[in-house]
A and B are shown apart, each in its own frame.
Chain A
């Protein structure tokens, strides 16, 4: 025991230095963005200061008071939510099938699904534009939500399958013997058991749909334009509106920062596709 304590004592300072340096490296650029968002443009361009001397919330007020700005957030949240619900809903039965049964072509199907996660969005930008224009869905939320299923459905299937593998099969069999039908078993017994898996899958769908820009920008023009694309508005004839750009950036970081707290203990397992 004494040896253990001595070892911890010897290792403690080094632990902190690597971690602190890394977190500092991560936080500095974000701090700088937040710092800028609280300055006026004159102060940003006028001189160099590590914190806002002339604290202002005008940049945020401008975004939250202008529909052309804040509708960007609303649009993003609408299509991200649609995508999350859609992806998880179709992935649940499929993941169950992959985790429980062997069937013709299952391995190939699983890899084929994975290939869609590998597909470069740049390859799909133009065909998506043509496809959704031809069916009259261009510039709608559902178009972006559907386009993002390309990489989110495979991801959701993978994550859920990983979590479902951890549930012993005896539970299924007992439930069937007790006279449960498949849908009732799935909703009443199985879903509560993999609730954290569903949460993680939903979180990852949310995340990847939220951060993607190439497809969502290509598929929208006005009515469903995402916030990330709206940010180009800050470029005008009179030059960049740096303060507003920074404020808009900070506001895109907040939703992620909020949801991350709830999944912090599962995030690594999710990235490992449920395989840790």
Chain B
């Protein structure tokens, strides 16, 4: 749509600007302040420059958390995106089942995150949980609080359970927007199922899939509550992702300087990756002429 230039539109944006400035800019300034200062208590601060940043960049702890975070986000993206597309392709075409599937699929998305954690904490317990009990009955030695591998599997399966529906819903919306004529043309050409997917469905889904990947990347990179409830970041530090580590540092040990420096770098990484996605996304939008 052709937009007209009108500087007065700023007045319409003003309320958002004021509100977000209050809830984002002020707190961010606090973080920046802490990241370049040190304190001996009594609210007396002095300038330390980039010392905290250097300390954090040299700390194995942050790199280890970052490595775990990247591996985690990569694994869940690799599982959830293809699985979500597969589910979307198998959605019923019409009738009451569409509504039933949509509602049931959306259900995990609306559960408070710590309850998601609680559900899986219970579900995986060997004594009272269905999953843990079944695995134990099958003779598999499964214990997510002691064994690193089991803890990772539990956290990943939990995330797949929690968020695959998001990808599926988006892919489904993309599929629904394909006109029937495309399929008819493909049938006349006797295109194979794979060709239909590769040359009709996938290109039409690209836009929404980019949104899905962006959302899943962002949210998995900030994940805190769910793994914290299930594993508490353990065993040891095995599932201590960036946010868990940061909260430990800031609210647990009250190491404000390092935590602030950590926060800024953390935020910048997310910003950078999201900016790349955003650019790709807007370019796709433009190409489709939206």
- Enumerate chain A interface residues (CB-CB to B < 8 A): 3-4, 14-15, 18-19, 22-23, 25-30, 32-33, 36, 44-45, 48, 50, 86, 89-91, 93-94, 96-104, 106, 109, 111, 113-128, 130-131, 146-147, 149-150, 153-154, 157, 165, 168-169, 207, 210-214, 218, 227-229, 231, 242, 245-246, 249, 252-253, 255-257, 259-261, 264-265, 267-269, 271-273, 275-276
Complex Cα gap A227–B250 (Å): 24
Query: Which residue from chain A places its CB closest to the CB of B187 in the assembled complex?
Result: A3
Q: Are B278 and A114 in contact (CB under 8 A)?
A: yes
Q: Are B122 and A90 in contact (CB under 8 A)?
A: no
Q: Are A253 and B111 in contact (CB under 8 A)?
A: yes
Q: Are B224 and A150 in contact (CB under 8 A)?
A: no
Q: Are B104 and A27 in contact (CB under 8 A)?
A: yes
Q: B195 contacts the other chain (Cβ, under 8 Å)? A: no
Q: Are A267 and B27 in contact (CB under 8 A)?
A: no
Q: Select B28's contact among A36, A100, A127, A130, beta carbons within 8 Å.
A: A127
Q: Are B13 and A29 in contact (CB under 8 A)?
A: no
Question: Which of B1-9, B74-82, B145-153 makes up part of the contact surface?
Answer: B1-9
Q: Are A101 and B114 in contact (CB under 8 A)?
A: no
Report chain A residues within 8 Å CB of B239.
none
Q: Are A116 and B122 in contact (CB under 8 A)?
A: no
What 20 new A-B contacts, CB under 8 Å, besides A36-B128, A116-B24, A272-B170?
Answer: A18-B86, A19-B92, A30-B107, A32-B129, A89-B15, A93-B12, A114-B278, A122-B242, A127-B28, A242-B122, A245-B122, A253-B115, A260-B107, A265-B99, A269-B173, A271-B169, A271-B212, A272-B173, A272-B208, A273-B211
Q: B106 contacts the other chain (Cβ, under 8 Å)? A: yes
Q: Are A118 and B270 in contact (CB under 8 A)?
A: yes
Q: B140 contacts the other chain (Cβ, under 8 Å)? A: no
- Enumerate chain B interface residues (CB-CB to A < 8 A): 1-10, 12-13, 15-17, 19-20, 22-24, 26-28, 30-31, 86-87, 90-92, 99, 101-115, 118-120, 122-123, 127-131, 133, 161, 164-166, 169-170, 172-174, 176-177, 187, 207-208, 211-212, 215, 218, 221-222, 224-225, 242-244, 246-247, 250-251, 256, 259, 263, 266-267, 270-271, 274-275, 278, 285, 290
A155 to chain B minimum Cβ distance, whole angstroms, is: 10
Given contacts A100-B4, A120-B266, A124-B27, contact A249 B119 (CB under 8 A): yes
Most chain B C-beta atoms within 10 Å of own C-beta, residue among A48, A130, A265, A268? A268
Number of residue pairs spanning A and B whose beta carbons lie under 8 angstroms apart: 285
Given contacts A26-B105, A119-B24, contact A213 B30 (CB under 8 A): no
Q: Are B101 and A23 in contact (CB under 8 A)?
A: yes
Given contacts A32-B129, A130-B30, A271-B166, contact A94 B16 (CB under 8 A): yes
Query: Which residue from chain B places its CB closest to the CB of A165 in the assembled complex?
Result: B1
Given contacts A19-B92, A27-B104, A268-B170, contact A213 B31 (CB under 8 A): no
Q: Are A260 and B106 in contact (CB under 8 A)?
A: yes
Given contacts A260-B106, A275-B208, contact A157 B128 (CB under 8 A): no
Q: Are A260 and B12 in contact (CB under 8 A)?
A: no
Report chain A residues within 8 Å CB of B246.
120, 122-123
Q: Are B87 and A125 in contact (CB under 8 A)?
A: no
> Can you spell out 26 A-B residue pairs with CB atoms less than 8 angstroms apart?
A19-B87, A19-B91, A26-B105, A33-B123, A36-B128, A93-B16, A97-B13, A99-B1, A102-B4, A109-B13, A111-B275, A113-B20, A118-B218, A120-B266, A122-B242, A123-B267, A128-B27, A207-B109, A214-B224, A214-B225, A253-B110, A257-B107, A261-B103, A268-B102, A276-B173, A276-B208
A95 to chain B minimum Cβ distance, whole angstroms, is: 9
A218 to chain B minimum Cβ distance, whole angstroms, is: 7
Q: Select A149's contact among B23, B215, B259, beta carbons within 8 Å.
A: B23
